[in-house]
Amino acid sequence: MLARRVPGILPPLGSDEAIAVSLVHSLVGTGKGLMRARPFRSPHHSASVHALVGGGSAHITPGEASLAHCGVLFMDEFGEFRPSVLDALRQPLQDGEVTISRRAARVRFPARFMLIAASNPCPCGFLGSARRPCTCDHVAHARYRRRMSGPLMDRIDICVPVNVEDPDRVLDHEVTAQSAGMRERVVRARGRQEERQGPTHLNAGLDGAELRACVGLTADAAMAVRSHAESVSSRGLTSLQKVARTIADLDGEERIEAQHVHLAWRLRMPAGDDGRGGWS
Ligand SMILES: [Zn+2]
């Protein structure tokens, strides 16, 4: 439910984005005229590489990654997707596009999406739960953790443990009716990014040099970043600063303060977890 709400708090599609999204969807017949809403795609965990990133021989078609362009690609039961499918996601996550090469043609489809993945902490789903004990054995845990690690996980910036919620609280309208307010805050934060970096360069898309040019760390924040330098990869450190930059933008702050770095770190690796965040 949370994942489905995300397109609703993102800014409306710009006209160039609306045209790009509509063109991709027209190739598979799912578009109806000019699409104005950000796409939300949620492929099943049995999806093939072809279904996820596109393919075909005589007629090359875009996959879910491209149909989610400018929107959200939601992968529920992330640990159940085939390893080859998860591997195939690395190119679009890195480059924002998919290249499909065949003897007759080479086709590029846009694929700049927000990836949201959800997964149980273990195959039985109760690892760490206060309600029921986990019934998985060590072998099952190890296999599951292997799937949740490696280069793809390193590209995921934010990792949040979600506990089983009290149904009354989930249905509470005071809690659920906040999307409009959140969207205003996101639109303002994106506006700040565009002013600083230009319309095509959101924080998530900055490379190392661009990030250094615009990150604006205070001395305390720089010290906070340095304190984590030894426990993450350089990609992880870049990702930490991008998330901190975004939190500062959401707060309307010009510079990144130490508190923004601390929050970005907690979102990367929730308290009490000594692994790569949130999966155990
Ligand atoms: Zn379990």
Q: How far is the CA of 80 from the centre of ligand 1 (A)?
A: 14
Contacts of 244 (CB under 8 A, 6+ apart): 215, 221, 225, 256, 260, 261, 263, 264
Q: What is the DSSP string of 163-221?
A: PPPPHHHHT-HHHHTTHHHHHHHHHHHHHHHHHHH-TT--GGG--HHHHHHH--B-HHH
- Please state the rounded mean pLDDT for residues 51-80: 92
Q: How far is the CA of 141 from the centre of ligand 1 (A)?
A: 7
The pLDDT value recorded for residue 244 is 94
Tell which wins on pLDDT, 200 or 95. Answer: 95
What CA–CA distance (Å, rounded) separates 12 from 187?
A: 9
Q: How far is the CA of 78 from the centre of ligand 1 (A)?
A: 15
- pLDDT of 107 strictly over 80: yes
What does residue 45 show for φ and ψ, rounded to 5 degrees?
A: -70, -10
Residues 3-54: tens digit of each pLDDT: 999 999 999 898 999 999 999 999 988 767 899 899 999 999 999 999 999 9
What does residue 101 show for φ and ψ, rounded to 5 degrees?
A: -110, 125
Average pLDDT, the chain: 85
Q: How far is the CA of 159 from the centre of ligand 1 (A)?
A: 19
Q: Would you state the CATH architecture of domain 180-268?
A: Orthogonal Bundle (1.10)
- pLDDT of 117 strictly over 90: yes
The pLDDT value recorded for residue 278 is 37
Considering just the CA atoms, what is the radius of gyration of the chain in Å?
20
Listed in order, strand segments (DSSP E) in the chain are: 40-41, 72-75, 97-101, 106-110, 114-117
Residues 227-247: tens digit of each pLDDT: 988 888 888 888 899 999 999
Q: Where are the domains of the chain?
A: 2-170, 180-268
Residues 120-138: tens digit of each pLDDT: 888 888 887 778 889 999 8
Q: How far is the CA of 161 from the centre of ligand 1 (A)?
A: 15
Q: CATH 3.30.43.10: does it fit domain 2-170?
A: no
Q: How far is the CA of 138 from the centre of ligand 1 (A)?
A: 9
**Residues with Cβ–ion distance below 5 A, ligand 1:** 122, 124, 127, 134, 136
Q: Which DSSP symbol is given to 40?
A: E
Q: How far is the CA of 274 from the centre of ligand 1 (A)?
A: 18
Q: How far is the CA of 231 from the centre of ligand 1 (A)?
A: 28
Residues 136-158: tens digit of each pLDDT: 998 988 888 777 766 777 788 89
Residues 166-220: tens digit of each pLDDT: 666 666 655 555 788 889 999 999 999 989 888 778 898 887 788 888 778 899 9
- Please state the rounded mean pLDDT for residues 255-271: 86
In contact, 156 and 117? CB cutoff 8 Å:
yes
Crossing angle between the packed helical segments 234-250 and 258-268, to the nearest 10 degrees: 120
What CA–CA distance (Å, rounded) separates 153 from 150?
A: 6
The pLDDT value recorded for residue 166 is 63
Point out which residues pair with 97 in neighbouring strands.
Answer: 110
Q: How far is the CA of 143 from the centre of ligand 1 (A)?
A: 12
Q: How far is the CA of 280 from the centre of ligand 1 (A)?
A: 10
Q: How far is the CA of 164 from the centre of ligand 1 (A)?
A: 15
- pLDDT of 265 strictly over 90: yes
- pLDDT of 275 strictly over 50: no
Q: How far is the CA of 147 from the centre of ligand 1 (A)?
A: 15
The pLDDT value recorded for residue 177 is 54
Q: How far is the CA of 129 from the centre of ligand 1 (A)?
A: 9
In contact, 37 and 9? CB cutoff 8 Å:
no
Output the pTM of the full model: 0.86
Q: How far is the CA of 28 from the centre of ligand 1 (A)?
A: 39
Q: How far is the CA of 136 from the centre of ligand 1 (A)?
A: 4
Tell which wins on pLDDT, 218 or 274. Answer: 218
Identify the CA nearest to 114 among candidates 68, 182, 76. 68
